[in-house]
Amino acid sequence: MSNLDISEKKFPVVEGLRDFQENRGIVRHCKIVGTLGPSSSNEKTLRELIEAGLDIARLNFSHGTHEQHKSNIDLVRRLSKEAGRHVAILQDLQGPKIRTGKMPGAGLVIKTDERYILSYGIEHTKEGVIPIDYRELVHDVKVGQKVLMDDGLFALEVEKIEGANVHVRVIVGGLLKSRKGVNFPDSILSLPAMTEKDSRDLLFGISHGVDFVALSFVQTAADVEQLKKMIAALGADIPVISKIETLRAIDDIENICKISDGLMVARGDLGVEGSVERVPGFQKLIISTAAKYARPCIIATQMLESMIENPAASLAELADVANGVLDGADCLMLSGEVASGKYPVQCVKQMASIINEVEAWTFKRPVRYETSLFERDTWVENEAIARAACEAADALNAKAIVCLSLTGTIARTIAKWRPKTPIIAISPRKDVVQRMVIVWGVYAMQNPLFYNTDVLLQDLPQLLKSMNIVQSGDTVVITAGIPINQMRPTNMIKINTIQ
Protein backbone atom coordinates (compact mmCIF):
# COMPACT_ATOMS: atom_id res chain seq x y z
CA MET A 1 0.00 0.00 0.00
CA SER A 2 2.96 2.33 0.28
CA ASN A 3 3.80 5.10 -2.17
CA LEU A 4 0.21 5.30 -3.42
CA ASP A 5 -1.00 8.58 -4.85
CA ILE A 6 -3.13 10.56 -2.40
CA SER A 7 -6.02 10.61 -4.86
CA GLU A 8 -6.26 6.81 -4.72
CA LYS A 9 -6.79 6.73 -0.97
CA LYS A 10 -9.53 7.76 1.40
CA PHE A 11 -8.30 9.56 4.48
CA PRO A 12 -10.51 10.50 7.45
CA VAL A 13 -12.04 13.93 7.55
CA VAL A 14 -10.24 15.94 10.25
CA GLU A 15 -11.16 19.12 12.09
CA GLY A 16 -9.30 21.71 14.11
CA LEU A 17 -6.53 22.78 11.72
CA ARG A 18 -8.36 25.64 10.06
CA ASP A 19 -5.79 28.18 11.26
CA PHE A 20 -3.02 26.15 9.61
CA GLN A 21 -4.93 25.77 6.38
CA GLU A 22 -5.89 29.43 6.07
CA ASN A 23 -2.59 30.94 7.22
CA ARG A 24 -0.14 28.43 5.74
CA GLY A 25 1.22 27.45 9.13
CA ILE A 26 1.55 30.98 10.54
CA VAL A 27 -0.35 30.35 13.77
CA ARG A 28 -0.54 31.82 17.25
CA HIS A 29 1.38 29.75 19.80
CA CYS A 30 0.11 31.25 23.09
CA LYS A 31 -3.57 30.40 23.56
CA ILE A 32 -6.50 32.53 24.83
CA VAL A 33 -8.94 31.60 27.62
CA GLY A 34 -12.16 33.58 27.94
CA THR A 35 -14.75 33.42 30.73
CA LEU A 36 -18.35 33.11 29.59
CA GLY A 37 -20.95 35.28 31.30
CA PRO A 38 -23.82 37.68 30.59
CA SER A 39 -21.84 39.54 27.91
CA SER A 40 -20.70 36.46 26.01
CA SER A 41 -23.28 33.71 26.41
CA ASN A 42 -25.38 34.57 23.40
CA GLU A 43 -24.87 32.83 20.05
CA LYS A 44 -23.84 35.92 18.07
CA THR A 45 -21.14 37.06 20.51
CA LEU A 46 -19.78 33.58 21.15
CA ARG A 47 -19.48 32.90 17.42
CA GLU A 48 -17.54 36.17 17.04
CA LEU A 49 -15.31 35.25 20.01
CA ILE A 50 -14.41 31.92 18.41
CA GLU A 51 -13.67 33.63 15.10
CA ALA A 52 -11.57 36.22 16.94
CA GLY A 53 -9.37 33.49 18.43
CA LEU A 54 -10.94 32.14 21.61
CA ASP A 55 -9.28 28.77 22.34
CA ILE A 56 -10.74 27.81 25.73
CA ALA A 57 -14.13 28.75 27.18
CA ARG A 58 -14.02 29.04 30.97
CA LEU A 59 -17.18 28.34 32.96
CA ASN A 60 -16.96 30.03 36.36
CA PHE A 61 -18.96 27.94 38.82
CA SER A 62 -18.88 30.72 41.40
CA HIS A 63 -21.70 32.17 39.30
CA GLY A 64 -24.55 30.85 37.19
CA THR A 65 -26.84 27.84 37.35
CA HIS A 66 -26.30 24.36 35.97
CA GLU A 67 -28.92 25.12 33.34
CA GLN A 68 -26.96 28.19 32.18
CA HIS A 69 -23.67 26.28 32.10
CA LYS A 70 -25.23 23.44 30.10
CA SER A 71 -26.52 25.95 27.58
CA ASN A 72 -23.02 27.40 27.22
CA ILE A 73 -21.43 23.96 26.84
CA ASP A 74 -23.86 23.01 24.08
CA LEU A 75 -23.34 26.36 22.36
CA VAL A 76 -19.54 26.15 22.46
CA ARG A 77 -19.55 22.60 21.08
CA ARG A 78 -21.87 23.48 18.21
CA LEU A 79 -20.28 26.79 17.22
CA SER A 80 -16.69 25.51 17.40
CA LYS A 81 -17.61 22.59 15.15
CA GLU A 82 -19.24 24.97 12.68
CA ALA A 83 -16.14 27.18 12.76
CA GLY A 84 -13.75 24.27 12.23
CA ARG A 85 -11.76 25.16 15.36
CA HIS A 86 -11.23 23.17 18.53
CA VAL A 87 -12.47 25.16 21.53
CA ALA A 88 -11.99 23.41 24.88
CA ILE A 89 -14.17 23.89 27.96
CA LEU A 90 -12.62 24.62 31.36
CA GLN A 91 -14.80 24.09 34.43
CA ASP A 92 -13.57 26.37 37.23
CA LEU A 93 -14.82 25.17 40.63
CA GLN A 94 -15.62 27.82 43.23
CA GLY A 95 -13.62 26.25 46.05
CA PRO A 96 -13.82 27.00 49.79
CA LYS A 97 -14.00 30.78 49.71
CA ILE A 98 -14.30 32.40 53.17
CA ARG A 99 -16.51 35.50 53.34
CA THR A 100 -17.88 37.98 55.84
CA GLY A 101 -21.54 37.73 56.76
CA LYS A 102 -24.34 40.08 55.84
CA MET A 103 -23.69 43.62 57.06
CA PRO A 104 -26.31 46.20 58.11
CA GLY A 105 -27.47 48.72 55.50
CA ALA A 106 -24.71 49.97 53.20
CA GLY A 107 -22.06 48.25 55.29
CA LEU A 108 -20.15 48.34 58.57
CA VAL A 109 -17.57 51.06 59.17
CA ILE A 110 -14.51 49.51 60.79
CA LYS A 111 -12.10 52.13 62.12
CA THR A 112 -8.32 51.98 62.12
CA ASP A 113 -6.81 51.05 65.53
CA GLU A 114 -10.16 49.97 66.96
CA ARG A 115 -10.78 46.44 68.25
CA TYR A 116 -13.37 43.99 66.92
CA ILE A 117 -14.31 40.34 67.38
CA LEU A 118 -14.39 37.85 64.52
CA SER A 119 -16.93 35.12 65.18
CA TYR A 120 -18.70 32.45 63.13
CA GLY A 121 -21.98 33.77 61.75
CA ILE A 122 -23.91 34.63 58.62
CA GLU A 123 -25.24 38.04 59.64
CA HIS A 124 -24.12 41.02 61.73
CA THR A 125 -26.26 41.00 64.88
CA LYS A 126 -24.04 42.45 67.61
CA GLU A 127 -22.07 45.67 67.91
CA GLY A 128 -18.33 45.16 67.57
CA VAL A 129 -18.62 41.66 66.10
CA ILE A 130 -17.79 40.86 62.47
CA PRO A 131 -19.44 37.61 61.32
CA ILE A 132 -17.26 35.14 59.35
CA ASP A 133 -18.73 32.07 57.61
CA TYR A 134 -15.92 29.73 58.74
CA ARG A 135 -16.48 27.54 61.82
CA GLU A 136 -12.84 26.50 62.32
CA LEU A 137 -11.55 30.09 62.50
CA VAL A 138 -10.49 29.95 66.16
CA HIS A 139 -8.50 26.75 65.58
CA ASP A 140 -6.62 27.94 62.47
CA VAL A 141 -5.40 31.44 63.39
CA LYS A 142 -2.78 32.49 65.91
CA VAL A 143 -1.92 35.69 67.74
CA GLY A 144 0.04 38.10 65.56
CA GLN A 145 -1.28 36.79 62.24
CA LYS A 146 -2.92 39.05 59.65
CA VAL A 147 -6.50 38.93 58.41
CA LEU A 148 -7.31 40.61 55.10
CA MET A 149 -10.77 41.49 53.78
CA ASP A 150 -12.29 42.64 50.49
CA ASP A 151 -9.33 41.74 48.26
CA GLY A 152 -6.87 43.17 50.79
CA LEU A 153 -8.49 46.60 51.13
CA PHE A 154 -8.85 46.08 54.87
CA ALA A 155 -6.17 44.63 57.16
CA LEU A 156 -6.53 43.37 60.72
CA GLU A 157 -4.22 41.66 63.21
CA VAL A 158 -5.10 38.89 65.65
CA GLU A 159 -4.49 40.02 69.27
CA LYS A 160 -6.03 37.17 71.28
CA ILE A 161 -8.30 34.14 70.99
CA GLU A 162 -10.98 33.46 73.61
CA GLY A 163 -13.42 30.60 73.26
CA ALA A 164 -15.25 30.96 69.96
CA ASN A 165 -14.03 34.55 69.42
CA VAL A 166 -10.97 35.95 67.65
CA HIS A 167 -10.08 39.43 68.89
CA VAL A 168 -8.49 41.68 66.26
CA ARG A 169 -7.14 45.20 65.89
CA VAL A 170 -7.83 47.10 62.66
CA ILE A 171 -4.66 48.17 60.83
CA VAL A 172 -6.42 49.58 57.75
CA GLY A 173 -10.13 50.26 58.02
CA GLY A 174 -13.03 51.50 55.91
CA LEU A 175 -16.58 50.58 54.89
CA LEU A 176 -16.89 46.78 54.98
CA LYS A 177 -19.79 45.55 52.85
CA SER A 178 -21.64 42.25 52.93
CA ARG A 179 -20.18 38.94 51.73
CA LYS A 180 -16.64 40.17 51.10
CA GLY A 181 -13.78 37.70 50.77
CA VAL A 182 -11.52 37.05 53.77
CA ASN A 183 -7.88 35.92 53.45
CA PHE A 184 -5.49 34.56 56.09
CA PRO A 185 -2.03 34.88 54.49
CA ASP A 186 -0.13 33.78 57.62
CA SER A 187 -2.39 30.87 58.56
CA ILE A 188 -2.63 27.20 57.56
CA LEU A 189 -6.34 26.62 57.09
CA SER A 190 -8.05 23.29 57.62
CA LEU A 191 -10.46 23.93 54.77
CA PRO A 192 -11.45 20.96 52.64
CA ALA A 193 -10.18 21.08 49.06
CA MET A 194 -13.72 20.40 47.81
CA THR A 195 -16.95 21.80 49.24
CA GLU A 196 -20.35 20.11 48.87
CA LYS A 197 -21.15 22.59 46.11
CA ASP A 198 -17.90 21.72 44.32
CA SER A 199 -18.78 18.01 44.44
CA ARG A 200 -22.19 18.64 42.89
CA ASP A 201 -20.65 20.91 40.25
CA LEU A 202 -17.94 18.33 39.47
CA LEU A 203 -20.56 15.64 38.85
CA PHE A 204 -22.35 18.02 36.50
CA GLY A 205 -19.12 18.86 34.65
CA ILE A 206 -18.16 15.22 34.18
CA SER A 207 -21.64 14.27 32.98
CA HIS A 208 -21.51 17.07 30.39
CA GLY A 209 -18.02 16.31 29.12
CA VAL A 210 -15.91 19.30 30.19
CA ASP A 211 -12.29 19.11 28.99
CA PHE A 212 -10.55 20.46 32.13
CA VAL A 213 -11.40 21.06 35.79
CA ALA A 214 -9.73 23.92 37.68
CA LEU A 215 -9.36 23.50 41.46
CA SER A 216 -9.50 26.73 43.46
CA PHE A 217 -7.43 27.60 46.55
CA VAL A 218 -5.07 24.65 46.28
CA GLN A 219 -2.81 24.49 49.34
CA THR A 220 -0.93 21.21 48.91
CA ALA A 221 -0.50 18.37 46.45
CA ALA A 222 -2.89 16.32 48.61
CA ASP A 223 -5.74 18.67 47.60
CA VAL A 224 -5.14 17.86 43.92
CA GLU A 225 -4.81 14.16 44.66
CA GLN A 226 -8.19 14.19 46.40
CA LEU A 227 -9.90 15.74 43.36
CA LYS A 228 -8.23 13.28 41.00
CA LYS A 229 -9.50 10.38 43.11
CA MET A 230 -13.01 11.81 42.98
CA ILE A 231 -12.85 12.15 39.21
CA ALA A 232 -11.59 8.57 38.86
CA ALA A 233 -14.31 7.29 41.21
CA LEU A 234 -16.88 8.91 38.92
CA GLY A 235 -15.46 6.95 36.00
CA ALA A 236 -13.72 9.86 34.27
CA ASP A 237 -10.18 10.94 33.40
CA ILE A 238 -10.33 14.73 33.18
CA PRO A 239 -7.14 16.81 33.56
CA VAL A 240 -6.93 18.98 36.69
CA ILE A 241 -5.63 22.55 36.54
CA SER A 242 -4.39 23.73 39.95
CA LYS A 243 -5.04 27.39 40.70
CA ILE A 244 -2.08 28.82 42.59
CA GLU A 245 -3.46 31.60 44.77
CA THR A 246 -2.10 30.96 48.27
CA LEU A 247 1.36 31.31 49.80
CA ARG A 248 1.12 27.75 51.04
CA ALA A 249 0.71 26.59 47.42
CA ILE A 250 3.81 28.56 46.44
CA ASP A 251 5.76 26.73 49.15
CA ASP A 252 4.61 23.35 47.75
CA ILE A 253 4.69 24.32 44.07
CA GLU A 254 6.97 21.49 42.92
CA ASN A 255 4.82 18.73 44.41
CA ILE A 256 1.60 20.40 43.27
CA CYS A 257 2.95 20.70 39.74
CA LYS A 258 4.03 17.05 39.58
CA ILE A 259 0.55 15.74 40.34
CA SER A 260 -1.38 18.40 38.39
CA ASP A 261 -2.11 18.44 34.67
CA GLY A 262 -1.62 22.21 34.50
CA LEU A 263 -1.23 25.34 36.64
CA MET A 264 -3.01 28.68 36.76
CA VAL A 265 -1.37 31.84 38.09
CA ALA A 266 -4.41 33.24 39.92
CA ARG A 267 -2.96 36.69 40.47
CA GLY A 268 -5.96 38.19 42.30
CA ASP A 269 -5.91 36.21 45.53
CA LEU A 270 -2.17 35.63 45.18
CA GLY A 271 -1.66 39.39 45.30
CA VAL A 272 -3.84 39.64 48.41
CA GLU A 273 -2.09 36.77 50.17
CA GLY A 274 1.47 37.70 49.35
CA SER A 275 1.38 41.45 48.59
CA VAL A 276 1.13 42.69 45.01
CA GLU A 277 4.85 43.48 44.73
CA ARG A 278 5.67 39.77 44.90
CA VAL A 279 3.20 38.64 42.22
CA PRO A 280 5.56 39.11 39.20
CA GLY A 281 8.13 36.92 40.92
CA PHE A 282 5.49 34.33 41.79
CA GLN A 283 4.32 34.38 38.17
CA LYS A 284 7.79 33.59 36.86
CA LEU A 285 8.28 30.84 39.47
CA ILE A 286 4.99 29.14 38.62
CA ILE A 287 5.58 29.32 34.85
CA SER A 288 9.13 27.97 35.11
CA THR A 289 7.99 25.11 37.37
CA ALA A 290 5.22 24.21 34.92
CA ALA A 291 7.72 24.24 32.05
CA LYS A 292 10.09 21.99 33.97
CA TYR A 293 7.44 19.27 34.16
CA ALA A 294 5.86 19.99 30.74
CA ARG A 295 2.61 21.20 32.29
CA PRO A 296 0.61 23.96 30.57
CA CYS A 297 0.33 27.22 32.53
CA ILE A 298 -2.37 29.90 32.42
CA ILE A 299 -1.93 33.51 33.56
CA ALA A 300 -5.15 34.99 34.94
CA THR A 301 -6.59 38.19 36.41
CA GLN A 302 -6.79 41.79 35.16
CA MET A 303 -4.90 41.31 31.89
CA LEU A 304 -7.11 43.80 30.01
CA GLU A 305 -9.17 45.01 32.97
CA SER A 306 -9.82 48.53 31.66
CA MET A 307 -11.54 47.06 28.58
CA ILE A 308 -14.46 46.03 30.77
CA GLU A 309 -15.59 49.63 30.35
CA ASN A 310 -13.35 51.02 27.58
CA PRO A 311 -12.85 49.96 23.94
CA ALA A 312 -9.06 50.23 24.20
CA ALA A 313 -6.54 48.78 26.67
CA SER A 314 -4.02 50.84 28.62
CA LEU A 315 -0.32 50.74 27.73
CA ALA A 316 0.39 49.02 31.04
CA GLU A 317 -2.07 46.26 30.18
CA LEU A 318 -0.57 45.81 26.73
CA ALA A 319 2.83 45.41 28.39
CA ASP A 320 1.37 42.94 30.91
CA VAL A 321 -0.01 40.72 28.12
CA ALA A 322 3.30 40.96 26.22
CA ASN A 323 5.25 40.01 29.35
CA GLY A 324 2.98 37.01 29.86
CA VAL A 325 4.00 35.81 26.40
CA LEU A 326 7.67 36.54 27.10
CA ASP A 327 7.48 34.71 30.45
CA GLY A 328 6.45 31.61 28.51
CA ALA A 329 2.79 31.14 29.48
CA ASP A 330 0.82 28.58 27.48
CA CYS A 331 -2.41 30.57 27.86
CA LEU A 332 -3.54 34.04 28.87
CA MET A 333 -6.97 34.43 30.45
CA LEU A 334 -9.69 37.05 30.20
CA SER A 335 -12.25 37.05 33.03
CA GLY A 336 -14.61 39.98 33.57
CA GLU A 337 -13.41 41.45 30.27
CA VAL A 338 -15.28 38.74 28.35
CA ALA A 339 -17.81 37.60 30.95
CA SER A 340 -19.40 40.94 31.83
CA GLY A 341 -17.53 43.67 29.94
CA LYS A 342 -18.85 45.94 27.24
CA TYR A 343 -16.32 44.83 24.59
CA PRO A 344 -15.77 41.04 24.85
CA VAL A 345 -14.93 40.43 21.19
CA GLN A 346 -12.57 43.42 21.00
CA CYS A 347 -10.77 42.06 24.10
CA VAL A 348 -10.03 38.74 22.42
CA LYS A 349 -8.97 40.45 19.20
CA GLN A 350 -6.70 42.80 21.16
CA MET A 351 -5.08 39.95 23.09
CA ALA A 352 -4.57 37.90 19.92
CA SER A 353 -3.00 40.91 18.21
CA ILE A 354 -0.54 41.48 21.07
CA ILE A 355 0.42 37.80 21.17
CA ASN A 356 0.96 37.69 17.41
CA GLU A 357 3.12 40.83 17.50
CA VAL A 358 5.32 39.58 20.36
CA GLU A 359 5.74 36.14 18.81
CA ALA A 360 6.58 37.67 15.42
CA TRP A 361 9.66 39.43 16.76
CA THR A 362 10.70 36.89 19.38
CA PHE A 363 10.75 34.11 16.77
CA LYS A 364 13.18 36.15 14.67
CA ARG A 365 15.80 35.78 17.38
CA PRO A 366 18.09 32.72 17.48
CA VAL A 367 16.60 29.84 19.44
CA ARG A 368 18.62 28.69 22.45
CA TYR A 369 17.69 25.31 23.85
CA GLU A 370 18.76 25.78 27.44
CA THR A 371 19.19 22.29 28.86
CA SER A 372 19.96 23.85 32.24
CA LEU A 373 16.37 25.07 32.45
CA PHE A 374 15.20 21.49 32.78
CA GLU A 375 17.98 19.77 34.72
CA ARG A 376 17.35 16.04 35.09
CA ASP A 377 19.48 13.23 36.49
CA THR A 378 18.44 11.02 33.60
CA TRP A 379 16.58 11.59 30.35
CA VAL A 380 14.06 9.10 28.98
CA GLU A 381 13.86 8.32 25.28
CA ASN A 382 10.90 10.51 24.37
CA GLU A 383 12.43 13.58 26.09
CA ALA A 384 15.59 13.27 24.03
CA ILE A 385 13.52 12.87 20.85
CA ALA A 386 11.48 15.95 21.74
CA ARG A 387 14.61 18.05 22.11
CA ALA A 388 16.07 16.65 18.88
CA ALA A 389 12.82 17.35 16.99
CA CYS A 390 12.95 21.01 18.03
CA GLU A 391 16.57 21.46 16.98
CA ALA A 392 16.02 19.64 13.66
CA ALA A 393 12.93 21.71 12.86
CA ASP A 394 14.78 24.93 13.66
CA ALA A 395 17.89 24.01 11.67
CA LEU A 396 15.87 22.92 8.61
CA ASN A 397 13.26 25.70 8.88
CA ALA A 398 10.57 23.00 8.96
CA LYS A 399 6.95 23.87 8.32
CA ALA A 400 5.68 21.73 11.18
CA ILE A 401 6.61 19.18 13.83
CA VAL A 402 4.07 16.36 13.50
CA CYS A 403 3.52 14.09 16.52
CA LEU A 404 1.73 10.77 16.14
CA SER A 405 0.62 10.22 19.71
CA LEU A 406 -2.02 8.33 21.67
CA THR A 407 -1.93 10.51 24.82
CA GLY A 408 -0.37 13.77 23.61
CA THR A 409 2.60 13.47 26.00
CA ILE A 410 5.21 13.92 23.27
CA ALA A 411 3.47 17.07 21.99
CA ARG A 412 3.56 18.61 25.48
CA THR A 413 7.20 17.59 25.89
CA ILE A 414 8.15 19.20 22.57
CA ALA A 415 6.16 22.33 23.43
CA LYS A 416 8.09 22.91 26.68
CA TRP A 417 11.18 23.71 24.56
CA ARG A 418 9.20 26.50 22.84
CA PRO A 419 10.31 25.80 19.23
CA LYS A 420 9.61 28.34 16.50
CA THR A 421 7.95 25.58 14.49
CA PRO A 422 4.24 24.91 15.13
CA ILE A 423 3.35 21.46 16.45
CA ILE A 424 0.63 19.26 14.94
CA ALA A 425 -0.52 16.47 17.25
CA ILE A 426 -2.39 13.57 15.65
CA SER A 427 -4.26 11.20 17.95
CA PRO A 428 -7.08 8.70 17.52
CA ARG A 429 -8.60 9.94 20.79
CA LYS A 430 -11.06 12.81 20.60
CA ASP A 431 -10.51 13.74 24.26
CA VAL A 432 -6.75 14.07 23.72
CA VAL A 433 -7.30 16.26 20.65
CA GLN A 434 -9.52 18.59 22.69
CA ARG A 435 -7.00 18.77 25.55
CA MET A 436 -4.15 19.76 23.26
CA VAL A 437 -5.86 23.14 22.84
CA ILE A 438 -4.36 24.31 26.14
CA VAL A 439 -0.75 23.55 25.14
CA TRP A 440 1.52 26.25 23.70
CA GLY A 441 2.05 25.97 19.95
CA VAL A 442 0.09 22.72 19.58
CA TYR A 443 -2.76 22.22 17.10
CA ALA A 444 -4.36 18.80 17.04
CA MET A 445 -6.48 16.64 14.79
CA GLN A 446 -8.12 13.28 15.20
CA ASN A 447 -7.09 10.40 12.97
CA PRO A 448 -8.71 7.09 13.87
CA LEU A 449 -6.75 5.13 11.26
CA PHE A 450 -3.10 5.53 12.10
CA TYR A 451 -2.96 2.96 14.86
CA ASN A 452 -4.07 0.29 12.38
CA THR A 453 -1.11 0.56 10.04
CA ASP A 454 2.48 1.76 9.78
CA VAL A 455 1.79 2.95 6.25
CA LEU A 456 0.65 6.36 7.50
CA LEU A 457 4.27 7.28 8.19
CA GLN A 458 4.78 7.18 4.42
CA ASP A 459 1.43 8.67 3.50
CA LEU A 460 1.32 11.41 6.16
CA PRO A 461 3.25 14.05 4.16
CA GLN A 462 0.83 13.74 1.26
CA LEU A 463 -2.13 13.86 3.63
CA LEU A 464 -0.83 17.16 5.03
CA LYS A 465 -0.32 18.42 1.48
CA SER A 466 -3.88 17.50 0.50
CA MET A 467 -5.14 19.52 3.50
CA ASN A 468 -3.20 22.62 2.35
CA ILE A 469 -1.04 22.54 5.47
CA VAL A 470 2.21 22.02 3.55
CA GLN A 471 3.33 22.38 -0.06
CA SER A 472 5.91 20.69 -2.27
CA GLY A 473 9.40 21.50 -1.04
CA ASP A 474 8.34 22.03 2.59
CA THR A 475 10.06 20.03 5.31
CA VAL A 476 8.25 18.34 8.21
CA VAL A 477 9.69 16.63 11.27
CA ILE A 478 7.69 13.57 12.34
CA THR A 479 7.83 11.79 15.71
CA ALA A 480 6.13 8.47 16.49
CA GLY A 481 6.34 5.28 18.48
CA ILE A 482 7.00 2.34 16.21
CA PRO A 483 5.60 -0.17 15.49
CA ILE A 484 2.58 2.15 15.54
CA ASN A 485 0.03 -0.65 15.82
CA GLN A 486 1.66 -1.72 19.11
CA MET A 487 1.06 1.72 20.63
CA ARG A 488 4.68 2.14 21.69
CA PRO A 489 5.92 5.33 23.42
CA THR A 490 7.61 7.80 21.06
CA ASN A 491 10.93 6.29 19.97
CA MET A 492 11.48 7.64 16.45
CA ILE A 493 12.11 10.92 14.61
CA LYS A 494 11.87 11.25 10.83
CA ILE A 495 12.61 14.21 8.56
CA ASN A 496 10.55 14.38 5.38
CA THR A 497 10.59 16.79 2.42
CA ILE A 498 7.23 17.08 0.71
CA GLN A 499 7.31 15.95 -2.90
Max Cα–Cα distance, the chain, nearest Å: 85
Q: Which fold has domain 29-95+194-358?
A: TIM Barrel (3.20.20)
Question: What is the secondary structure of 377-411 as a DSSP string?
Answer: SS--HHHHHHHHHHHHHHHTT-SEEEEE-SSSHHH
Q: Are 372 and 449 in contact (CB under 8 A)?
A: no
Helix axes 344-362, 315-327, angle to 10 degrees: 50
CATH number of 108-183: 2.40.33.10
Is residue 481 within 8 A of residue 488, CB to CB? The reply is yes
Dist CA 205 CA 422 (whole Å) = 31
Contact 464, 402 (CB under 8 A): yes
Please, are residues 290 and 263 in contact by the beta-carbon 8 Å criterion? yes
Q: 6-18+368-497: what CATH class? A: alpha beta
CA–CA distance, 294 with 233 (Å, rounded to integer): 26
Phi-psi region of 16 (alpha: psi -120 to 50; beta: other; left: phi over 0): left
- CA-angle at 382, arms to 378 and 383, nearest 5°: 50
**Residue 468: predicted pLDDT:** 82
HSE of 102, CA atoms in CB hemisphere, 13 A? 5
Radius of gyration of the chain (CA): 25
Contacts of residue 308, Cβ cutoff 8 Å, sequence gap at least 6: 336, 337, 340, 341, 342
Q: Checking DSSP bridges between strand 129-132 and strand 115-120, what pairing results, if any?
A: parallel
Strand partners, 88: 56
CA distance linking residue 226 with residue 263, whole number of Å: 16
- Distances in Å between the Cα of 27 and the Cα atoms of 17, 30, 440 are 10, 9, 11
Q: Which pLDDT belongs to residue 489?
A: 82
pTM of the model: 0.90
Catalytic residues: 58, 99, 243, 301
Average pLDDT per 10 consecutive residues for the chain, totaling 499 residues: 44 68 82 97 97 97 95 97 94 93 92 96 92 93 95 94 96 94 90 92 98 96 97 96 94 97 94 88 96 95 96 96 96 96 98 96 71 59 89 93 92 93 91 96 82 66 83 92 76 89
Query: For position 12, what pLDDT does the model report?
Result: 46
Question: Given this model, what pLDDT does residue 446 score?
Answer: 87
**Rounded CA gap, 497 and 499, in Å?**
6
In 3D space, the residue among 12, 78, 9, 20 whose CA is nearest the CA of residue 46 turns out to be: 78
Cα torsion 315, 321, 324, 328: sign: negative
Domain boundaries, given as residue ranges, for the chain: 6-18+368-497, 29-95+194-358, 108-183
pLDDT value at position 469? 84
Q: What is the pLDDT of residue 1?
A: 36
Contact partners, residue 97, CB within 8 Å, separation at least 6: 62, 181, 216, 217
